[in-house]
């Protein structure tokens, strides 16, 4: 199959490209490098079935020849990144997603949208089931990301309903692993970096808010299975093992054998209090569930960051 992966040079995108090439597919990675890094794709450089195209998907794409499927992962994803690039984030979710849907329509290609648990906002239902409509502040600082993704879901459904495009929507919950940026501000790189360098660990609020962490290889497996399915409505992909932010800090500190102090900082506005995916739908439809436990995933991630830090 011939795939286009938008957001290929990012954390998840680079792992997805590797997986698709391993499976024997031909892949064109597209990225404008706003938050990604071409070094994430070093293992595919010069590969006969892979090429990387520098392009901003808010501009229409020209594509000659066959195209079987599109994965749309293009978007700043960490709160630090999307707060720094709010307009770009809104444009890539809206104009970028529509451009890629047009491309899918013209080529009869399948289309998968990487959506997010942020569509549930600060959820009033727990755990989050796909049928929950969410609790999103439409004008708060996170709205540039949340509303961009909610629009992206809406336009994806519209292209399916109006034009019959074979679409899928993955609602991805917090995912971690090698190739996250050390300084992207998300909890895993922040805490691992701080623990390894014996710096204070910056817990926001009192640390009682929860998240559920999925290792990247599990997520990629879920994405590829979903892209082959005929499910059009959103499907949660994440690991339901939920823990508080404070317990997570303590876990990373212990695994790193670190003496870092816990340092409390103000909770960012609209930071969701609880988040845990209900993955019954993914289990039933895709036969998918996460396989990598937290310790195992964190060990692999810490190894990656250790090497990065050693390399300066």
Catalytic residue numbers read: 145
CA nearest to 226, candidates 67, 97, 111 = 111
Contact predicate 176/216, CB 8 Å = yes
d(CA 43, CA 140): 39
Partner from ligand NAD, ligand UDP, none binding residue 7, C-beta < 5-8 Å depending on class: ligand NAD
Q: How far is the CB of 263 from ligand UDP (least distance, A)?
A: 9
31 scored as a contact of ligand NAD (CB under 6 A): yes
114 scored as a contact of ligand UDP (CB under 6 A): no
Based on CB atoms, which residue is closest to ligand UDP, 52 or 245?
A: 245
75 scored as a contact of ligand NAD (CB under 6 A): yes
What is the Rg, in whole angstroms, of the alpha carbon atoms belonging to the chain? 19
CA nearest to 193, candidates 126, 258, 286, 263 = 258
282 scored as a contact of ligand NAD (CB under 6 A): no
Mask for 159-178, x = binds ligand NAD (CB under 6 A): -------------x-xx---
Backbone angles phi, psi at 120, to 5 degrees: -85, -10
Among 4, 5, 27, 34, binds ligand NAD (CB under 6 A): 34
136 scored as a contact of ligand UDP (CB under 6 A): no
Peptide bond into 127 cis (omega under 30): yes
Span interacting with ligand UDP, options 90-98, 197-205, 277-285, 289-297, rule CB under 6 A: 197-205
Rounded to the nearest 10 degrees, the angle between the axes of helix 187-196 and helix 245-256 is: 40
187 scored as a contact of ligand UDP (CB under 6 A): yes
106, with CB counted inside 10 A (0-12, 13-18, 19+), is: exposed
Of residues 70 through 99, those in contact with ligand UDP by CB under 6 A are: 78-79
CA nearest to 57, candidates 39, 76, 72 = 72
Contact predicate 148/263, CB 8 Å = no
- List residues near ligand UDP by CB under 6 A: 78-79, 174, 185-187, 190, 202-204, 209, 211, 245, 268, 271
| Residue ranges that bind ligand NAD, judged by CB under 6 A | 6-7, 9-13, 30-36, 56-58, 73-77, 81, 92, 96, 114, 116, 172, 174-175
């Amino acid at each position: 199959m011939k795939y286009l992966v938008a957001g290929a040079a990012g954390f998840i995108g680079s792992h997805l490209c590797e997986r698709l090439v391993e499976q024997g597919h031909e892949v064109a990675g597209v990225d404008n490098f706003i938050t990604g890094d071409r070094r994430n794709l070093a293992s595919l450089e010069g590969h006969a079935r892979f090429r990387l195209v520098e392009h901003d998907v808010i501009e229409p794409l020209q594509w000659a020849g066959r195209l079987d499927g599109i994965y749309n992962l293009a978007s700043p994803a960490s709160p630090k990144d999307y707060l720094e690039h709010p307009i770009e984030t809104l444009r890539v979710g809206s104009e970028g997603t529509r451009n890629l849907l047009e491309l899918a329509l013209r080529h009869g290609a399948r289309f998968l949208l990487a959506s997010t648990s942020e569509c549930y906002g600060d959820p009033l239902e727990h755990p989050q089931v796909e049928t929950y409509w969410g609790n999103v502040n439409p004008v708060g600082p996170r709205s540039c990301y949340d509303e961009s993704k909610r629009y992206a879901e809406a336009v994806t459904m519209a292209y399916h309903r109006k034009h019959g495009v074979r679409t899928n929507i993955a609602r991805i919950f917090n995912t971690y692993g090698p190739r996250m940026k050390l300084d992207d501000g998300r909890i895993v790189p922040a805490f691992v970096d701080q623990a390894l360098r014996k710096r204070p660990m910056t817990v926001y609020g009192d640390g009682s808010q929860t998240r559920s962490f999925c290792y990247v290889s599990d997520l990629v497996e879920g994405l590829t299975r979903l892209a082959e399915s005929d499910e059009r409505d959103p499907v949660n992909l994440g690991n339901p093992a939920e823990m508080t932010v404070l317990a997570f800090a303590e876990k990373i500190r212990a695994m790193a054998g670190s003496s870092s102090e816990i340092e409390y900082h103000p909770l960012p506005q609209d930071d969701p209090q609880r988040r845990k995916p209900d993955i019954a739908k993914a289990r039933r439809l895709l036969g998918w569930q996460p396989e990598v436990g937290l310790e195992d995933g964190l060990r692999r991630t810490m190894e990656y960051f250790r090497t990065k830090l050693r390399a300066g």
